Each structure stands twice: as C-alpha cells, then as structure tokens.
A = this chain, B = another copy of it.
C-alpha cells in the first residue's frame, strides 16, 4: 500500500495513544509504516505540521455539543465535550495547546462559540472563548500528566472525582463571569 498523508497522521495518532507525545518522532512513525524516515518528508513538510494534523483529528471529535436552551448551558457543554475529546487520547491537551500556540492546526474549536456568544449579545466573544479554552487546555494537561505520573508509580493516584469537580468549578467560574456585567 502506498504511503499517504492520512496513513502518516494515523500512525502518529496511534503512537501518541500507545506511547505518548515524547515518543511521536519521525523515525518512530516511519518505522510503524515500514518506511525510511526521510520518506515522510515527501508527504508532510515537517514534524510540527504532522503534529498539527494529529491535533486536528483529535479536535474533530469535539465539534458541536448540540443545541441547548441557554447560552450558558451551551458553553458549559462545549467545555465538557472538548475535555472528553482530549481525555480520549494521551497527551492530547498538551499537543493541542502547543499546536495552537504556534498558530498551526486548521480546526478552531472556538469558532462556533464565538459566533453564538456574539449573537447572544455577550461582550468580547473572542476573548471569552479564548479564556475558556486556556482553562480547558491547562486543566486537562495537568490531568493527563498527573495520570501518567501515577501510572509510573511516581505519584500517588489522584482521587478520580476531584478533577471532574475542579473542572466543572472552573467552567462555572468563567460562565458566571461571562454573564455578569463588567464593572
């Protein structure tokens, strides 16, 4: 079977899930596909763009939390949907955060929310969604690294419900601030 960009991205995602972000190297991806490392550069310009494509695939699962009665409910559901999509893949939050910091990645998880907030008359939709995204990525990154440290036995296993509670609290904080008029 011919080497394709999709196959390369798929192999990258597979290695991410199995061994973590640190092990997603051009050589490892090439090995998994039975090909030389240099061959990848015919289909992908560099490692960063490969990682960005993997991040996009992960984010594609987080699109559309559906319809909700209120804007607050929609935003809250959006945050939880995004978190679930990130928790489905090892180191996904860290990967998405660094990809977005570099301005790479085609999928913008905030696009839908920005429009809905604007239509709903919420002030600063862009800054608001950005703030919420920063919280989600930061929280889930910490969650995922803590899980791996615990898996290695370097850290006592954290209480599983604590992360859920703190996440919900943080989302509520931003959502309440969003619907409260600025001073």
Contact = CB atoms under 8 A, between A and B. Distances in A.
Interface in A7-52: none
Contacts of A169: 124, 127-128, 131
Contacts of A177: 172-178, 180
Nearest to A149: B103
A107 B169 CA distance: 24
A8 B3 CA distance: 46
Q: Which DSSP category, helix, strand, loop or mixed, fits chain A's interface?
A: helix
A4 interface: no
Interface string A146-163: 100100000100000000
Contact of A138 (B97, B102, B127, B146): B97
A131 B101 contact: no
B127 A170 contact: yes
Interface-centre pick from A127, A149, A183 (highest chain B CB count, 10 A): A127
A181 to B, nearest CB: 8
Nearest to A93: B101
Interface of A: 94, 97, 100-103, 124, 126-128, 130-131, 133-135, 137-139, 141-142, 145-146, 149, 155, 165-166, 169-170, 172-178, 180, 182-183
Given A134-B135, A173-B178, A176-B182, 9 more contacts: A100-B142, A124-B166, A126-B166, A128-B173, A131-B135, A135-B138, A137-B138, A176-B180, A177-B177
